[in-house]
Amino acid sequence: MAETIDLPAAQHVGERHRDRWIALSVFVFCWLLFAAVEQIPFSLQGAVVEALVERGRLYFVHGSMKEGVSESVFENLDTNTASFRYLFNVFPHGGLYYVNHAPGQFLLAAPWYAASTWLDDES
């Protein structure tokens, strides 16, 4: 007995596979476009991830708030990375400086930062 191939079902699987690649491509394109245009949020996220991985905390200890023309800027003295020196959206509380964002994005990025610093130390 010969098997019959259900062409519409096979075509549907191919379309789903293609749709996944299109969605992934659009996501990566938008992510790279945003990274190329808007750098301030990435420096804030990088500074917090650096503090979490290298110092084990989601806050800054050494630094000072500076009043700018339009908003307050935090001078981060904990870091050795020049792009993480001046940060926005940081508030003081109890002698420490916290970022005014939910910590989830920082916790998700921490393993990747830790792996990249470990690989950098190995080379």
Q: Who has greater pLDDT, 7 or 26?
A: 26
Rounded Cα distance between 97 and 94, Å, is 8
Stated pTM of the model:
0.59
pLDDT by residue (tens digit) across 59-81?
999 998 888 777 788 899 988 88
Count of C-beta atoms within a 10 Å radius of residue 34: 12
Rounded Cα distance between 89 and 78, Å, is 17
pLDDT by residue (tens digit) across 18-32?
888 899 999 999 888
pLDDT of 11 higher than 70: no
Predicted local confidence at residue 26, as pLDDT: 93
What is the CA 34 to chain-centroid distance, rounded?
A: 12
Mean pLDDT in residue range 2-17: 63
